[in-house]
């Protein structure tokens, strides 16, 4: 009897000690990202401690993709300067893919135009070619995953935490892929965002969902997520009408990608790049701008992936002709805006562009006023 009591005492002591230290370590090593393991998705008590998912952690300097590329017209050095600053203060690494002047595309190199559409020498053709060049670069250089962004974007100062948490969600809480009861099936995969996607969308300006498959989504709390009321009206409507979320800070939805609009920020796997190039102008023909083509090929099921709403990358606007290179009439129009100082974006909790002044502004002489040597 005494032996039984001693054994029970030891077991209880170990249990409470492990629980205490587990809780302390969780908070110690991730002060900026709270426990995001939903209670309903945690393993049953019968699973051993080693089968618990790890806690989320910030993404690396390429946001846990192999590369980050941004597309920019060579003459838009103003945007390139800005992105260099944003990347530096965010601790991320960007590589430029030059935008393409559509007039330089030989007519023999144009995709077969479907539906009688003619995009010869139009900005839409140049935009497609730039994205196609990014896909081709990924394929030719055996890049497993890459994030592709455009040069007029904004993101949150905590973008590494945001993307690290989303990667955790896709890898350890992917109810779309595995179902609610079997998410642990993906825990052994060695892919930061899971291993099953062609495309990831976190920089769309609009988002159509498959209303026949609304079960293919889940919601999660992001401490760096915005109040949905600050996002574009389309995302507010999606939250209210589709996902039945009335508001509140920090709620995000991951859904099966169906109809993303705009290409401000999306990722592709190498296979995803191959499928996009194959289906969109590189082998088969095309008849619409590249973002519409991607959306329709996704709706048809030829490519697939996941979408974050509200998105992590949003448009930065200054007003006037600087805001687009996709309208030929704007290229020679005078600039009437007041520059980045008066610029704006929507749907971010803490804009990195607006944060630049806090990092870089100083006044040496004012700081030295009370310093006498």
Q: Domain residue spans in the chain?
A: 67-315
Give 321's pLDDT tier (boundaries 50, 70, 90): confident
Helix ranges (DSSP H) in 109-253: 123-140, 159-172, 175-178, 233-237
How many Å apart are CA 43 and CA 46, to the nearest integer? 8
Residue 6 has pLDDT above 90, yes or no: no
What Å distances lie between residue 265 and 71, 81, 308, CA to CA? 10, 19, 11
pTM for this entry: 0.84
How many Å apart are CA 103 and CA 88, to the nearest integer? 34
How many Å apart are CA 277 and CA 257, to the nearest integer? 18
Give 330's pLDDT tier (boundaries 50, 70, 90): low
Give 228's pLDDT tier (boundaries 50, 70, 90): very high
Confirm if 154 and 347 have CB atoms less than 8 A apart: no
- In sequence order, what are the residues at sequence separation of 6 or more whose Cβ sits closer than 8 angstroms to the Cβ of residue 50? none
Residue 335 has pLDDT above 80, yes or no: no
Q: What is the mean pLDDT of residues 139-159?
A: 98
The closest alpha carbon to 309, from 245, 355, 373, 213, belongs to: 245
SS3 category, 195: coil
pLDDT tens for 265-310 read 999 999 999 999 999 999 999 999 999 999 999 999 999 999 999 9
Cis peptide bond prior to 289, omega within 30° of 0: no
In what order do the strands lie in the sheet containing 265-269?
A: 95-98, 67-72, 145-150, 265-269, 199-203, 305-309, 251-256, 217-221
Confirm if 207 and 238 have CB atoms less than 8 A apart: yes
Residue 367 has pLDDT above 90, yes or no: yes
Residue 345 has pLDDT above 90, yes or no: yes
Q: 145-150 and 251-256 as β-strands: parallel, antiparallel, unpaired?
A: unpaired
Q: How many helices (H) and strands (E) does the chain have?
A: 10, 12
How many Å apart are CA 187 and CA 189, to the nearest integer? 6
What Å distances lie between residue 66 and 22, 63, 71, 130, 366, CA to CA? 32, 8, 17, 19, 44
Pick the CATH number of 67-315 from 3.30.160, 3.90.550, 1.20.120, 3.40.50: 3.90.550
pLDDT at 329 (0 to 100): 54
What Å distances lie between residue 5 and 1, 2, 15, 203, CA to CA? 6, 5, 15, 60
Residue 250 has pLDDT above 50, yes or no: yes
Q: What is the mean pLDDT of residues 357-363?
A: 96
Confirm if 220 and 173 have CB atoms less than 8 A apart: yes
User: Mean pLDDT in the chain?
Assistant: 87
């Amino acid at each position: 009897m005494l032996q039984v009591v001693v054994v029970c005492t030891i077991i209880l002591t170990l249990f409470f000690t492990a629980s205490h230290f587990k809780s302390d370590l969780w908070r110690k090593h991730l002060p900026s990202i709270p426990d995001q393991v939903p209670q309903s998705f945690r393993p049953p008590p019968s699973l051993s401690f080693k089968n618990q998912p790890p806690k989320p952690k910030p993404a690396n300097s390429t946001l846990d993709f192999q590369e980050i590329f941004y597309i920019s017209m060579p003459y838009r050095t103003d945007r390139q300067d800005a992105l260099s600053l944003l990347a530096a203060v965010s601790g991320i690494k960007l590589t430029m893919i030059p935008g393409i002047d559509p007039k330089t595309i030989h007519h023999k190199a144009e995709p077969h135009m479907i539906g009688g559409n003619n995009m010869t020498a139009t900005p839409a053709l140049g935009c497609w070619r730039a994205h196609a060049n990014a896909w081709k670069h990924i394929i030719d250089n055996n890049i497993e995953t890459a994030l592709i962004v455009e040069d007029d974007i904004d993101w949150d100062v905590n973008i590494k935490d945001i993307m690290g948490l989303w990667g955790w969600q896709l890898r350890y809480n992917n109810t779309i892929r595995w179902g609610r009861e079997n998410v642990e099936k993906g825990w052994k995969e060695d892919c930061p965002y899971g291993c099953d996607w062609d495309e990831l969308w976190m920089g769309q300006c609009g988002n159509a969902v498959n209303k026949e498959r609304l079960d293919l989504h889940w919601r999660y709390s992001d401490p760096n997520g915005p109040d949905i009321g600050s996002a574009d009206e389309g995302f507010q409507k999606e939250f209210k009408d589709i996902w039945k979320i009335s508001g509140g800070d920090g709620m995000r939805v991951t859904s099966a990608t169906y109809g993303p609009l705009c290409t401000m920020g999306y990722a592709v796997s190498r296979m995803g790049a191959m499928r996009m190039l194959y289906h969109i102008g590189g082998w088969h023909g095309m008849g619409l701008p590249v973002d519409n083509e991607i959306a329709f090929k996704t709706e048809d099921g030829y490519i697939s992936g996941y979408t974050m709403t509200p998105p992590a990358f949003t448009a930065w606007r200054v007003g006037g002709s600087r805001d687009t290179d996709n309208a030929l009439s704007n290229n020679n129009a005078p600039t009437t805006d007041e520059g980045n100082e008066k610029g704006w974006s929507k749907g971010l909790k803490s804009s990195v562009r607006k944060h630049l002044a806090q990092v870089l502004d100083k006044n040496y002489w004012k700081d030295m006023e009370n310093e006498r040597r």
